[in-house]
Structure 1
Amino acid sequence: MRKYRFRAETVLIACLLGSIVPASSLAKNVSPSSPEHASVQKEITRYLDKQVRRYAASIGSDDYQISLQPPATLPPCNQPLRQTLSEPTKPVGRLSVTLECHQPNYWKARARAEVAIFLPLVVAKQPLNRRQAISRADLSLKRSNLAHMRHGYFTHIDAVAGLTSRRKIAAGKVISPRMVEAPELVKRNEEVIIEARMGGMTAKMKGMALESGAEGESIRVRNLSSGKEIYATVIGRQRVQTTF
């Protein structure tokens, strides 16, 4: 009989304790239609706009768009949310914003965003063939979303004019650095003029290029007078320079 009473009392106490729930845990989540949710969305939007505007300005753009997808519901928070951007140094493309709250309870949530930043980028005005010398007439500028630029880009036509295409480039295609290269000013097995500098003196002699090279590249050259192989820097069409 004592055992039964003990068990009955234990069950009763447990039931009473189980019914005592902290008031904070009874608070409902913030629904999408509530003023609180709208306030949180504005808070996230302001944070994102500040970060994106700062980055866009650093690359010379004030043309950007932000599409925000906040969480469907959020627990209540009695203080400003702590926000952290997934790509703080380059906020463009698909991003996430981590939301963190400490009062009345600690919780984390995540908002999704799509950021587009636009710049006028150099594109091919017409199809370009492989190994084609590119002129200004072959190029134009086109408003482009940087979120789609994975391999770099050019913002000035003069930076591309005079280069050579590495492969075929379709009309309207944004030109990246990997698509072009400096033209070869010296060809392998071609006769070149070697300019040798020593102090304030310069001597010129004939040589044979053992490698092809663009301006600024170092290539192997044979001095036709001495037969000696040297390294020289390409400085112009069929011209190289070395220092002694």
Structure 2
Amino acid sequence: MLSIEGKHLFRFIRTAGYALLGSFIVVFVNPAWAASPIEPQATRWVEQQIQLIGQQQGWQSLQSKASVELFNANNRLSSCNTPLVFSAPLLAQSPTRFPLVISCNSPSGSWKMRAQVNVEIRVAAVVAVTALPVGTLLTTDNIQLIPVTLKPGTRIRVMTHTDDALQMTLKRAVSAGQPLTPLLLDMPKVISRNQAVTLVIQQEDLELTTGGVALQNGSKGATIRVKNSGSGRVVSGTVMDAQRVLVHVIE
């Protein structure tokens, strides 16, 4: 299970993985495909790329069904004696619908064709077991992983790992069976307004503590304002846990 500290990190890691994949999706097809029509070759290539993304992201129960619409398909093209080249820089950003460029670099005659790809993806996603009100703390009792279907044009915002949702709270109410997305979730509140807290001041190897009062609600890692009980000064700091705030600035 991911720790609360790690939950800020997982989205950045996955986003970085998408960006990396999207930056060099230019792949030669198997030479054995060269004699087959363009659409089946393109479809096989697309479904291979979807599987690759799924492996990198750890998607479970992944299935995909792609359709390729060739632009200017009636134009007469010379036969390609070399493997076709497929390029889809936007595939990783929008795997259910994206433009595709198909190229032939044959010495006997090169050409380039554009196409539109639509993909229906079925993948296991985190959903609510029952209707859940706003503020619900997510646990193994109220969420589960089940396959959902994403139609062409749908952005993949659903969460695909239960560990990413556990111990988070809901920003909005959700219905039974509704897939969860990061935008629906928030870090749980660990400090409440007017709560007595310990202010921690760290400088090199020195650590000082004093009493204070929280002026705002806060989740772990959030920046809130607190008041030093002794001096009455307002302190800006980071919530360390349910009792301590690491001081930033004394105003």
User: In structure 2, what is the equivalent of residue 160 of structure 1?
Assistant: 165
Question: How far is the alpha carbon of 1:115 from its aligned partner?
Answer: 1.8
SS at match of 2:221: coil
Greater CA drift, 129-138 or 39-48 = 39-48
Of residues 86, 93, 97, the one that matches 2:96 is 93
Normalising by structure 2, report the TM-score.
0.68
The 5 Å alignment of 1:1-244 reads 39-61=37-59, 63-71=62-70, 73-79=74-80, 80=82, 81-85=84-88, 87-90=90-93, 92-100=95-103, 109-145=113-149, 150=155, 152-242=157-247
SS at match of 1:236: coil
Q: Is the 8 A contact 1:68 1:113 kept in 2?
A: yes
SS at match of 1:48: helix
Question: How far is the alpha carbon of 1:142 from its aligned partner?
Answer: 1.3
Larger Rg computed on CA atoms:
1
Question: How far is the alpha carbon of 1:159 from its aligned partner?
Answer: 2.4
**Alpha-carbon spacing, 1:181–1:149, altered in 2? closer, same or farther (3 Å):** farther
Q: Is the 8 A contact 2:212 2:227 kept in 1?
A: yes
Q: Is the 8 A contact 1:55 1:90 kept in 2?
A: no
- What amino acid is aligned across from residue 98 of structure 2 in structure 1? L
Question: Of Structure 1 and Structure 2, which has the larger fraction of its residues in helix?
Answer: 1
Q: Is the 8 A contact 1:215 1:234 kept in 2?
A: yes
Q: Is the 8 A contact 2:189 2:220 kept in 1?
A: yes
User: Could you tell me the percent identity over the aligned residues?
Assistant: 23
**Alpha-carbon spacing, 1:195–1:116, altered in 2? closer, same or farther (3 Å):** same
**Bigger RCO of structures 1 and 2 (CA < 8 A, at least 6 apart):** 2
User: In structure 2, what is the equivalent of residue 3 of structure 1?
Assistant: none
Q: Whole-Å Cα distance in 2 between the matches of residues 101 and 130 of structure 1?
A: 54
Q: Is the 8 A contact 2:122 2:147 kept in 1?
A: yes
Question: How far is the alpha carbon of 1:37 from its aligned partner?
Answer: 9.4
Any stretches of 5+ residues in structure 2 without a counterpart? 1-33
Q: Is the 8 A contact 1:196 1:202 kept in 2?
A: yes
Normalising by structure 1, report the TM-score.
0.70
Greater CA drift, 71-80 or 176-185 = 71-80
Q: Whole-Å Cα distance in 2 between the matches of residues 127 and 85 of structure 1?
A: 39
Q: Is the 8 A contact 2:150 2:156 kept in 1?
A: no
The RMSD of aligned alpha carbons is 3.2
**Alpha-carbon spacing, 1:157–1:88, altered in 2? closer, same or farther (3 Å):** closer
Question: How far is the alpha carbon of 1:170 from its aligned partner?
Answer: 0.9
Deviation per CA, 1:73-101, whole angstroms, max 9, x where unpaired?
A: 45131324554336243462123333455
Q: Is the 8 A contact 1:194 1:242 kept in 2?
A: yes
**Alpha-carbon spacing, 1:90–1:37, altered in 2? closer, same or farther (3 Å):** farther
Q: Is the 8 A contact 2:63 2:123 kept in 1?
A: no
- What amino acid is aligned across from residue 77 of structure 2 in structure 1? P
SS at match of 1:231: strand
User: In structure 2, what is the equivalent of residue 26 of structure 1?
Assistant: none
**Alpha-carbon spacing, 1:225–1:157, altered in 2? closer, same or farther (3 Å):** same
How many pairs does the alignment contain?
209
